Structure 1
Amino acid sequence: MKNIILLLFFSLSITNYASTSTNNKSINKMMTTPKDSVLRHVVIFKFKADATKQQITAIEEAFSALPSKISQIKDYEWGLNNSPEGLSKGFTHCFFVTFKSEEDRAIYLPHPDHKAFVTQLTPILDDVFVLDYWTN
């Protein structure tokens, strides 16, 4: 009887260890990123109705100038919404800023050139949507 209890205890211990080990590997995999992954910082703007074409063009140019001013930006692209679905909710401009690390993003966000851009943008911005994600 004592052997059966020990065998049962041993069996449960191994099952629990295997389950914990698998769960820890899954958690660790979610917390780390592959070497070839990059961090995307997606910024989507909706401008105020009274924003002029000249003001919006100035914002497009100012945002596009940031990669030459902030070395942590590894890649940059932007475009205008042209979806036929009508689900944009008034958001018109989408910008992708790419970083190699969260540390690079942490330098970018409070960077004086980024702050100056935000100051220029704020008077004509109605709403903004930001989403960051790691690529696979």
Structure 2
Amino acid sequence: MTNDRISRRTALAAPVALTAFAASTTPLAKGDDGPSSEIKHVVAFRYRPEVTTEQKTEVLNRFLALEHQCLRDGKPYVVSIGGGDCTRSLEGLTAGFEQAFIVTFSNRADYEYYIGRPFTYPFDPVHDAFKAYSTPLLAVDETGRTNGALVLDFPT
């Protein structure tokens, strides 16, 4: 499959997935992206060809565990994490992504703490360790840049 086809498929898949998800959540209020708005953080992973099923399962389990392991001021701050294998879509528009997750934060400050470096400081060391483990397993383009992660964020 060519990169052009992958790009078109990704462009088609993301709005479909977001539209379906957004329909099941609280409607977005115009301009309501302030510091107290709930944030949805959508993440999908595409892996290098040599990554084993066991490694993918480990990434899945570690990602889902972040819901309870991520602490801020000694307390969990991730509202919820859901996700899993996304390869069984009847639409077939996964663009090679194999796992997808939706992480919910109650406010922008918690979202920013989770996202962490290099974007914000301070940051969650648990999520940072997860990124260090999973990033080397993700697909890369012909220049070696990671293209195995798709991330979408929006307020609800």
Q: Provide the TM-score with structure 2 as the length reference.
A: 0.63
In 2, Cα distance between equivalents of 1:122 and 1:83: 24
Q: Deviations over 1:97-124 (max 9, x none)?
A: 1001111101112210011000110111
Unaligned runs of 5+ in 1: 1-28
Distance 2:33 2:133 in 1: 34
Do the aligned partners of 1:72 and 1:107 also contact (CA within 8 Å) in 2? no
Unpaired stretches in structure 2, ≥5 consecutive residues: 1-28, 71-75, 117-123, 140-147
Which whole-Å CA distance do the structure 1 matches of 2:136 and 2:128 have between them? Answer: 14
Which secondary structure does the structure 1 equivalent of 2:89 belong to? coil
Q: In structure 2, what is the equivalent of residue 129 of structure 1?
A: 150
Opposite residue 149 of structure 2, the aligned amino acid is: V
Query: Amino acid of the residue matched to residue 47 of structure 2?
Result: F
The number of residue pairs the alignment matches comes to 106
Aligned to 1:79: 84
When the two chains are superposed, the root-mean-square deviation of aligned CA atoms in Å is: 1.9
CA distance in 1, matches of 2:133, 2:62: 9
Amino acid at match of 1:105: Y
Aligned to 1:93: 99
Between the aligned residues of both structures, percent identity stands at 33
Query: Post-superposition shift, 1:45?
Result: 0.6
**Residue 91 of structure 1, CA deviation:** 0.5
1:33 Cα deviation after fit: 5.3
Distance 2:103 2:84 in 1: 12
Output aligned runs, 1:20-39, within 5 Å: 30-32=30-32, 38-39=38-39
2:50 corresponds in structure 1 to 50
Structure number with bigger Rg: 1
Deviation at residue 79 of structure 1 after TM alignment: 2.2
Distance 1:65 1:115 in 2: 14
Q: Identify, as 1 or 2, the structure richer in helix.
A: 1
Q: TM-score, length-normalised on structure 1?
A: 0.71
The separation in 1 between residues aligned to 2:84 and 2:66, in whole angstroms, is 16
Q: Give, in whole Å, the separation in 1 of the partners of 2:92 and 2:63.
A: 26
SS in 1 for 2:84: strand
Structure 2 partner of 1:116: 129
Q: What is the SS of the residue equivalent to 1:90?
A: coil
One-letter identity of the residue aligned with 2:135: T
Q: Is the 8 A contact 2:60 2:84 kept in 1?
A: no
**1:74 alignment partner, SS class:** strand
